Chain A
Amino acid sequence: MSQKLEKLKSSRYYGFCLLFAMLIFFYGVFKILTPNNFGSPANLYAYLQSSIIYAVGGCGLYFIVVMGLFDFAVGSNIVLSSIVGVILAKKFGYAGFIIGCLGCGTLIGLLIGFLYNKLNVPSMIVTVGLMLIFESVAVFAAGGEKQTLPENLRFFSGAPGNIILAVLAFLLMYFILNYTKIGTYCNAIGSNEFTAKNMGIDVKKYKLIGFMLLHFFVGIMAILSVSYGTTMTALTGMSTMSRNFQPLMGTFFGIAFRKYGQPITAIIVGEFIISLIFNGFIALGAPTTIQNVVTGAALLVIVTLTARGSKGSVVK
Chain B
Amino acid sequence: MEKKPLLVAENIDKKFDITHAVDNVSLTIYAGEIRGLIGENGSGKSTFSQMLCGIYTIGGGTFKLDGKELHVRNQVEANNEGVAIIVQEMGTLSGLTVAENIFLGHEDPFMNGVVKNTAAMNKEAQRLLNEYGFGRIDAANMIDAYNFEDRKLIEIVKATYMKPKILVVDETTTALSQNGRMELYKIMDQVRDDGRSVIFISHDLGEVLEHTDTVTVLRDGEYIDTVNTKDVTEDDLKRLMVGREIGNAYYRTDYGTPVSKEVVLSIKNVTVPKQIYDISFDLHKGEILGIGGLSECGMHEVGKAIFGASWDREGSVTLADGTEINSIPTAIKHSIAYASKDRDNESIILNESIRNNVVLPSIDDLANRKILSGRKLTRFAKKHADDMQTKMASVHQFISDLSGGNKQKVVLARWMGKGSDILVLDSPTRGIDVKVKQAIYALMQELKEEGKSIIMISEEIPELLGMSDRIFIMKDGKINGEFLRSKQLDENDLIAKMV
Chain A positions within 8 Å of B, measured between CB atoms, are: 7, 10, 66, 178-181, 184, 187-188, 190-192, 195-201, 258-261, 311-312
Contact = CB atoms under 8 A, between A and B. Distances in A.
A184 B104 contact: yes
A191 B95 CA distance: 7
Contacts, number: 74
Given A181-B111, A187-B96, A192-B93, A199 B104 contact: yes
Contacts of B77: 200
B55 interface: yes
Given A188-B93, A199-B74, A200-B75, A181 B311 contact: no
30 contacts: A10-B145, A66-B95, A178-B118, A179-B117, A180-B115, A181-B107, A181-B116, A184-B104, A184-B107, A187-B93, A187-B95, A188-B93, A188-B104, A191-B94, A192-B93, A197-B74, A198-B54, A198-B74, A198-B75, A198-B76, A199-B75, A199-B104, A199-B105, A200-B77, A201-B104, A258-B95, A259-B142, A261-B142, A311-B312, A312-B311
Given A184-B116, A261-B142, 10 more contacts: A181-B107, A181-B116, A184-B96, A184-B100, A188-B96, A190-B95, A192-B93, A196-B93, A199-B76, A260-B142
Contact of B311 (A10, A190, A311): A311
Contacts of A191: 93-96
Contacts of B142: 10, 259-261
A179 B122 CA distance: 12
For the residues of A in contact with B, the DSSP-based class is helix
Which residue among B93, B96, B144 has the maximum number of chain A CB atoms within 10 Å of its CB?
B93
Contacts of B105: 199-201
For the residues of B in contact with A, the DSSP-based class is loop
B114 interface: yes
B115 A179 contact: yes
A184 B118 CA distance: 11
B310 interface: yes
B76 to A, nearest CB: 3
Contacts of B94: 191-192
B110 to A, nearest CB: 10
B466 interface: no
A292 to B, nearest CB: 31
A70 B75 CA distance: 29
Contacts of A190: 95
B121 to A, nearest CB: 10
Contacts of A260: 142
Contacts of A180: 114-116
B361 interface: no
Contacts of B309: 312
Nearest to B100: A184
B451 interface: no
B91 interface: yes
Given A179-B115, A201-B105, A195 B312 contact: no
Contacts of A178: 116, 118
